[in-house]
Structure 1
Amino acid sequence: MNAKDTLFCKKTTFNCGGRLVLLHKPVVMGILNLTPDSFYANSRLQNVSEAVAQAGKMLNEGASILDIGGYSTRPGAPEVSEQEELNRVVPIIEALSKAYPEALLSIDTFRARVAEEAVQRGAHIINDVSGGTLDQNMFSTAGRLGVPYILMHMRGTPQNMALQNQYLNGLLEEIVSFFAERVALLRAAGVKDILLDPGFGFAKNVEQNYQLLRRFKELEVFELPLLIGLSRKSMTYKPLLVGPEEALTGTIVANTLALLNGADILRVHDVKEAVHTIEIVKKMLTA
């Protein structure tokens, strides 16, 4: 079996409110940041009209999913109350559901109450950076709501995760162990559609991120869709001695490597460039 058989001919699907999402080739998830302190300043949206306009642009450029977040998870990010998070995301979800009723919306939160409120207002997917470790009610909530759940690997909290990057048993080995345990718990809670995200930059330094990227394909052992979030993160710009504003080139290269290693969903700030990356890699693999 060659690369094009395993990467772009996967039969992986997941169900979003009765709509079957096909991953016969990778798709793009556009990031909508509703926080004043996201690490990439150009991605910060200040109000509903800005968010609706940006969402429309991303959908026109080829985004299959829009990921809405109201809690910055950059290293050292300040705590945000549950009510403030709700105040940030609920009006946007309602507005997007009305403006783009066919769009698939993901709620980026580790709080079960926020996830439930978001789904009730129109979100279709839960994207939990904590993998259920920061809210014991998250798995049961996802199971009861019957929505796809993105399981991400992280240690600690956004406030202290940078100090928790020691992996005595090996980085990928610990991620695999984490996923095996959490997937079993999710299935026991009734969650039918599970996607995996190894959490680049979450309790992992630049060197560890590249080790993980090199071995990313090994996560296909779970036979679940793989999401990758590399967009403008430090691993794409620190080696180049630039900042996140100049990290598009690094992001494109990193996403290309991820696609060659089995990524099914690219979570990005720059949708058009990610869509083009997928098309070029597809052309090479299917030529």
Structure 2
Amino acid sequence: MSTLRGRGSVQGLPEWDRCAVMGVVNVTPDSFSDGGRWFDTTAAVKHGIDLVAQGADLVDVGGESTRPGAPRVDEDEELKRVVPVVRGLAAEGVTVSVDTMRATVAEQALAAGAVLVNDVSGGLADPRMVPAVAAAHAPFVVMHWRGFLTDIHAEPHYDDVLSEVVDELHARVEAAIEGGIAPERIVVDPGLGFSKEAEHDLTLLAHLERLRDLGHPVLVAASRKRFLGRVLAGPEGAPPPARERDAATAAVSAIAAHQGAWAVRVHEVRATADAVRVARAVTGAAGGPR
């Protein structure tokens, strides 16, 4: 598999001359960072449009919280939450991603106007997901995942987190390709915070080039996550609440962009939109890849 130049592009999506900014719209009552704020369809669509006005290039709509210990919602409820918001945003010309682990939700969201499927399980939670995405010729985000966070097998044990995450992602990418998804439509995500401790997340962020060596664009989703709270708190302090981690998120966005990430997924867009533009300018001045 050949390594893509620069940060790469994704067939079926717009091309950006810098790291793209993916804004988050959680249509849930229980997200770890902003649950309930955008649970109403009208409010969620307005929020997505606002994120674009603040600098988001695409908007990721999800109807199921993946925070540790969160119970799964049933399929009908997830469809009720997600599809009207996707339809409303697509009607306004927004580039929409759907954040789901269910093939049926992905199919209906794509039919409503979504153009990207972001599956935190990398196709493992629903065996129908890869065939559904392949049939729709849609781009697909393959995240590193070791199971639901209520599963003991998903506990964060690694002998070499970098090598293990790269190897496990490679296996999922190969499975997606064998399932019919074109290599040019695949994005990889290291799964920060999923079955990982803070030191694991930081190691992965420090070595994004290893993920890029898989030959696919890289999505980094660090926004407001627990490891940032640990960094900000220091060894003795209490981590700040999720919504007080946006400056730290923007710092990660700049680091990820400088290392060639294809996109960063964030809740607060404006600071990250500025950060990735500065990173592009610095990289360009150094004569490096954009």
Would you say same fold, with TM above 0.5?
yes
Q: Which of 123, 136, 145 in structure 2 is aligned with 1:145?
A: 136
1:1-287 matched pairs, under 5 angstroms? 10=6, 12-16=8-12, 20-41=13-34, 44-98=37-91, 100=92, 102-160=93-151, 164-168=155-159, 170-192=160-182, 193-241=185-233, 242-287=240-285
Query: Normalising by the residue count of structure 2, what TM-score does the alignment of the two structures yield?
Result: 0.89
User: Matches of 1:91 and 1:215 in 2, distance apart?
Assistant: 38
Cα contact 1:75–1:160 (8 A) shared by 2: no
Could you say if the C-alpha distance between residues 201 and 73 of structure 1 is closer, same or farther in structure 2, counting changes exceeding 3 Å?
Answer: same
User: Matches of 1:146 and 1:269 in 2, distance apart?
Assistant: 28
Deviation of 1:23 after TM superposition, in Å, equals 4.0
Could you say if the C-alpha distance between residues 161 and 236 of structure 1 is closer, same or farther in structure 2, counting changes exceeding 3 Å?
Answer: farther
User: Matches of 2:178 and 2:82 in 1, distance apart?
Assistant: 29
- What secondary structure does 2:195 align onto? coil
- What secondary structure does 1:15 align onto? coil
User: Matches of 1:123 and 1:182 in 2, distance apart?
Assistant: 23
User: Matches of 2:192 and 2:173 in 1, distance apart?
Assistant: 19
User: Matches of 1:72 and 1:216 in 2, distance apart?
Assistant: 26
Cα contact 1:10–1:25 (8 A) shared by 2: no
Could you say if the C-alpha distance between residues 103 and 32 of structure 1 is closer, same or farther in structure 2, counting changes exceeding 3 Å?
Answer: same
Structure 1's consecutive aligned runs of 4 or more residues displaced over 6 angstroms after TM superposition are none
User: Matches of 1:185 and 1:230 in 2, distance apart?
Assistant: 25
Question: Residue by residue, what CA displacement relative to the aligned partner does 1:154-182 show, whole Å, maximum 9, x if unpaired?
Answer: 111143379521123x1111111112212
Cα contact 2:102–2:129 (8 A) shared by 1: yes
Cα contact 2:7–2:261 (8 A) shared by 1: no
Deviation of 1:214 after TM superposition, in Å, equals 1.1
User: Matches of 1:123 and 1:176 in 2, distance apart?
Assistant: 28
User: Matches of 1:44 and 1:190 in 2, distance apart?
Assistant: 37
Query: Normalising by the residue count of structure 1, what TM-score does the alignment of the two structures yield?
Result: 0.90
Q: Which runs of 5+ in 2 are unaligned?
A: 234-239, 286-290
Deviation of 1:237 after TM superposition, in Å, equals 1.8
Deviation of 1:239 after TM superposition, in Å, equals 2.2
Question: Residue by residue, what CA displacement relative to the aligned partner does 1:247-285 show, whole Å, maximum 9, x if unpaired?
Answer: 112111222222222211010011111110011112222
- What secondary structure does 1:245 align onto? helix
Deviation of 1:11 after TM superposition, in Å, equals 7.0
Cα contact 1:110–1:132 (8 A) shared by 2: yes
Could you say if the C-alpha distance between residues 51 and 243 of structure 1 is closer, same or farther in structure 2, counting changes exceeding 3 Å?
Answer: same
Cα contact 1:108–1:128 (8 A) shared by 2: yes
Q: What's the % identity of the aligned pairs?
A: 35
Cα contact 1:12–1:24 (8 A) shared by 2: no
The one-letter amino acid paired with 2:50 is: K
Cα contact 1:155–1:161 (8 A) shared by 2: no
Deviation of 1:41 after TM superposition, in Å, equals 2.6
Cα contact 1:161–1:203 (8 A) shared by 2: no
User: Matches of 1:285 and 1:44 in 2, distance apart?
Assistant: 36
Deviation of 1:49 after TM superposition, in Å, equals 1.5
Question: Residue by residue, what CA displacement relative to the aligned partner does 1:201-240 show, whole Å, maximum 9, x if unpaired?
Answer: 0000111111111122211112211000011111112222
User: Size of the alignment, in residue pairs?
Assistant: 275
Q: Which residue of 1 aligns with 2:236?
A: none
Deviation of 1:42 after TM superposition, in Å, equals 6.7
Could you say if the C-alpha distance between residues 84 and 178 of structure 1 is closer, same or farther in structure 2, counting changes exceeding 3 Å?
Answer: same
Question: Residue by residue, what CA displacement relative to the aligned partner does 1:87-107 show, whole Å, maximum 9, x if unpaired?
Answer: 110111122222x1x221111
